[in-house]
Amino acid sequence: MSVTDFGPATAASRPALLRFPGDVRTVTGSTFLIESDHARVLLECGLFQGFTDLRRRNRAKLPYDASSIHAVVITHAHLDHCGYLPRLVRHGFRGPILTSAHTARLAEIVLRDSARLQMETARHANEHGWSTHRPARPLHDETDVDTTVKFFDAVPVGNHVETMAGTRLTPLHGGHILGSAWAQLTLEDGHTLATSGDLGRPGHPLLLPPEPFTGADVLLMEPTYGIRRHEPERALTEEPAMTSARYTVNDVMTKNVVTVTPDTEFKEIAAAMKQWKVAAVPVIESKGHVVGVVSEADLLPKEEFHAHRIGLIEQMYRPGDTAKAGAVRAEELMTSPAITVKPDVPLPQAARLMADQRIKRLPVVDADGSLKGIVSRADLLKVFLRSDDDLAAEIRREVVNRLFPASSVKASVTWGVATLTGRVRDVTLIPVAARLAQSVEGVVGVDCRLEGEASD
């Protein structure tokens, strides 16, 4: 295929010719061939993978002369992008294989593994006679890999290198796998061409985010997932979500709990509540299980009924209260079964339970029903009383260091309001940072003043 509508050429050279020997109507076997007056560069050298029809293409006659290729550019170490290299070398290629240092190291492992698999498959086919080829031969073997790795020529990501006279290569972080880099080529006629390779998403915990596309006359894209839409919200917050709702009931509950037994009498309960200044007591049976809760509200009807005789009609409308008025022991006063909460429940969930049930405190019980503590609405607010320094330290640790490692981004907190300042390379992470800072428990607001790095 000839790409002729490049627009006005900037140099006297003829426009380059772009060909697609692979990766057409399929997503494996990535290969593009760019030919200018003095350079023949192969972009990617992938293996066809999948069904037999596709794999057969690996053995087809090459539509170009391997020995005439000056250089190969590899974006990353997946087989569908680099797996044909030993075969290309077997066909006579002897130029530099330009790629990042990490891809070079990783590709060697991947190619050796691939060679061993092919050799084993060929041996198995010959032993059992299931191949149509007699004898079956591997596409390439370990000796081909030994030769191939000698041609790896690492190019630092972000640097420009002159590959041939007038042809310049710039690899840029691809964020797909270790070492992956998309490639930008400036051709001798002055035009530019970029190939995406496979690109990752920003916000990966280990990989640098893909470098934004900065423009080219021709862009070659990998379409594997081109028709699908990621769910950006979830995808971006999944990993760093540890900052959200990390505090559980266990962190804020009161562990010394005043309790009563089912046969504790009214006066004793009232005295205990007064002495310990608590508004409710869990009722514990002999095995230590919580069977109910007696709260001030449960005691009040008793007091009220003491004060005046209540009419029959009122008793009919308030049967529950009337029963409590006659009760003298905890088991008759208590609200049962008790609404309880597990220690590992996140605070927002405990708060919702209290709101839904219109109660001010929850006994905390473990899996076998034993009492571990009690949590009140006031306890839930403790996280909002964390010091500004404490909050700022957590934002630096969990948000800034994770999203913008080795950057100059600053986080400070005043009266619970976090301020983020500085310049970041990947502007798509700015809203993520604001959201994560907001999700740090105790932060009441975020003033996000992050900006993108000034482009040069």
Site residues for Zn ion per CB under 5 A = 78, 198
What amino acid occupies position 63?
P
Query: In whole angstroms, what is the distance from residue 299 CA to residue 287 CA?
Result: 25
CB of 192 to Zn ion, least distance (A): 23
Give whichever of 23 and 35 is closer to Zn ion, judged by the CB atom.
23
Query: In whole angstroms, what is the distance from residue 3 CA to residue 139 CA?
Result: 32
Half-sphere exposure of 364 (CA within 13 A, CB side): 23
Give whichever of 198 and 211 is closer to Zn ion, judged by the CB atom.
198
Q: Return the structure tokens found at 395.
A: 């934002």
Query: In whole angstroms, what is the distance from residue 95 CA to residue 316 CA?
Result: 97
**Cis peptide bond prior to 337, omega within 30° of 0:** yes
Give whichever of 107 and 193 is closer to Zn ion, judged by the CB atom.
107
CB of 29 to Zn ion, least distance (A): 13
Give whichever of 197 and 442 is closer to Zn ion, judged by the CB atom.
197
CB of 76 to Zn ion, least distance (A): 6
Q: Return the structure tokens found at 108.
A: 């060697």
What's the first-to-final CA gap in the chain, in angstroms? 35
Query: In whole angstroms, what is the distance from residue 82 CA to residue 28 CA?
Result: 10
Helices H / strands E in the chain, number of each: 17, 18
Give whichever of 40 and 78 is closer to Zn ion, judged by the CB atom.
78
Give whichever of 78 and 191 is closer to Zn ion, judged by the CB atom.
78
Give whichever of 198 and 441 is closer to Zn ion, judged by the CB atom.
198
CB of 208 to Zn ion, least distance (A): 16
CB of 231 to Zn ion, least distance (A): 21
- Placement of tokens 């009931």 in the chain: 249
Give whichever of 198 and 426 is closer to Zn ion, judged by the CB atom.
198
Q: Return the structure tokens found at 41.
A: 């560069």
Give whichever of 43 and 299 is closer to Zn ion, judged by the CB atom.
43
Q: Residue 41 in contact with residue 72, Cβ under 8 Å?
A: yes
CB of 359 to Zn ion, least distance (A): 54
3-state secondary structure 173-197: ECCCCCCCEEEEEECCCCCEEEECC
| Geometric angle at alpha carbon 449, from 445 and 451, rounded to 5° | 145
Give whichever of 194 and 283 is closer to Zn ion, judged by the CB atom.
194
CB of 75 to Zn ion, least distance (A): 8
CB of 222 to Zn ion, least distance (A): 8
In a 10 Å sphere around its CB, with 0-12 CB exposed, 13-18 middle and 19+ buried, how is residue 17 labelled?
A: middle
CB of 44 to Zn ion, least distance (A): 10
Q: Return the structure tokens found at 380.
A: 């839930």
Q: What is the DSSP string of 269-323?
A: HHHHHHHHT-SEEEEE-TTSBEEEEEEHHHHHHHHHHHHSPPPHHHHHH-HHHHH
CB of 178 to Zn ion, least distance (A): 11
Q: Residue 171 in contact with residue 43, Cβ under 8 Å?
A: no
